[in-house]
Structure 1
Amino acid sequence: MIKSVLTKVEKGKYLTIRYFVNFMIGGLVAVFPLIINFIGEMAAYPLIENNYYFGMPLVIQGSFWPELFYNHPILYILLRLFILFLFGGMLASIGLAVSTFVKNRYIVLIVPFLLVLGIDVLSSAIGNLSLSLLFLGNVETTWEIPVILFVGIFGSFVWYYTVGGRNETI
């Protein structure tokens, strides 16, 4: 990072904007391939109703909001993309927070994924929701997803704002 850049903005505003831009880019990187895939699938199968016999995966009872999937499928997909956007932004923000005390860029890249892997092992060991790469598959909507999002986003922001305020030179 460029250490001797003179800006006309105070450090708190700079850190907040940097965190927000990092969060948005992380979310877009997580969601962009899925949006392209969805557009391609809509071009191939535009108006076919969801049917098990056509090889389409169904959202069964006890899954992530099956009523919304069958009544408003586009809204369901947008909601799932929004949740994945939040998780992508959270992982990018955790990396940004870790970068305040770790200077090796490869370690900064791998720490968020190791953290998710550790949380997955711990939550699976105590019998709660698995946070693996398929955690947003057909799982019930529980309190754990919003809590993990809140703790990850808010915690990484507080960490970056407090520690980054001491480490960043603007």
Structure 2
Amino acid sequence: MELSCLFHEREVLWMVRSLIRMEVVRLFSRWQPWVAFLLLIGVLIQGYEVFYPEPTIKVRDPGWFNVFLAFTKTHGYDLALLSVTLPLIAVMVAGDSLAWDLRTGFMHSILMRMNYKKYIMGKLLSVSLVTFVFVWIGEWIAFIYGMVRYPVLFPPAVSHGSTPDYAQSLFMDHPILYVMLIIFNTSMAAMAFSTISLALSTKIKNLYVVLALPWLGFIVIEFISQVLGSRFSPLNYIGQYFLSVFSYHTLEIPLAWTLLWVISWMTAYLLFVNHFKKGGKHGR
């Protein structure tokens, strides 16, 4: 019994590693992830630049224009573009992976060696990890750009309207940890959008529709939330929670994106299994 369980665990690990390697190869071999990477770096740099003070503006305390404060502005500043582009960037990384497998017939080939339930679980995990790491690396590269562009100074004091309201004590006491928290929040949001795209792939065969629908849905939901004046605006949850009129708990943002990721994961899994069973193909 123990030997059987050990063999099963090794088989699952082999499957996950294989699918992760496959996603990494796709990441470098297709044009969509490269465009997504350039877009991610571009909008982050744009956020740094729109916050940069004009030479003609006299700054009362130059220390306020430091890299840590600028980092928050790249995510939550009114003129920064990250919040509105992240859903599109996330799905361009690997959100159409399942659709490609279905379209090219690769899925049928791999199901000759793997149970279909293990396949979809491995696919969801590999796409999630690749998307998370992709955004995490992009964020840190942009942060290094910010360190070159801005003074690497710790925030001198709390200033209303400048210092972020979200997790303010962490920002003041441990700015590096604060940066890691925000990058984690952004990466989790990207993971959620990528798994939503995988769920759509079980019903929609058009690759471009699979890539566009999560972003279009985001825009529609954001419009409705703005009309209703809701604190649950997706735009706020992606980046504008720093200086929002609503007070967000430190754990609320990462937990919200984690919950959406889990729900979209379960939805994608159930839709795929149901679709597979209806097709009368049960794999190995």
TM-score by length of 2: 0.51
Maintained 8 Å contact 1:26/1:91: no
Per the alignment, residue 159 of structure 1 pairs with 267
| CA displacement at 1:118 relative to structure 2 | 2.0
Change (3 A) 1:138 1:7: farther
Per the alignment, residue 171 of structure 2 pairs with 69
- Aligned residue pairs, count: 164
| CA displacement at 1:153 relative to structure 2 | 1.2
| CA displacement at 1:43 relative to structure 2 | 4.8
Per the alignment, residue 131 of structure 1 pairs with 234
| CA displacement at 1:98 relative to structure 2 | 0.5
CA distance in 2, matches of 1:43, 1:36: 11
CA distance in 1, matches of 2:146, 2:273: 45
CA distance in 2, matches of 1:145, 1:112: 19
Per the alignment, residue 108 of structure 2 pairs with 4
Structure 2 gaps of 5+ residues are: 1-100
> Which 4+ residue blocks in structure 1 deviate beyond 6 angstroms?
none
Higher helix share: 2
CA distance in 1, matches of 2:150, 2:239: 24
TM-score by length of 1: 0.80
Query: Quick one: percent identity of the two aligned structures?
Result: 24
Structure of larger gyration radius? 2
| CA displacement at 1:146 relative to structure 2 | 5.1
Change (3 A) 1:111 1:151: farther
Per the alignment, residue 248 of structure 2 pairs with 141
Q: Which amino acid in the other structure matches residue 153 of structure 1? A: W
Change (3 A) 1:29 1:112: farther
CA distance in 1, matches of 2:137, 2:188: 13
Map residues 1-170 of structure 1 onto 2, 5 A cutoff.
1=101, 2-5=106-109, 6-43=111-148, 47-50=152-155, 58-60=162-164, 63-129=165-231, 130-132=233-235, 134-139=239-244, 140-142=247-249, 145=253, 148-167=256-275
Structure of greater relative contact order (alpha carbons < 8 Å, 6+ residues apart): 1
Change (3 A) 1:157 1:67: same
**Offset from partner CA, 1:4-47 (integer Å, 9 cap, x none):** 21443322222111101111222233333221011233355564
Maintained 8 Å contact 1:95/1:112: yes
Structure 1 gaps of 5+ residues are: none
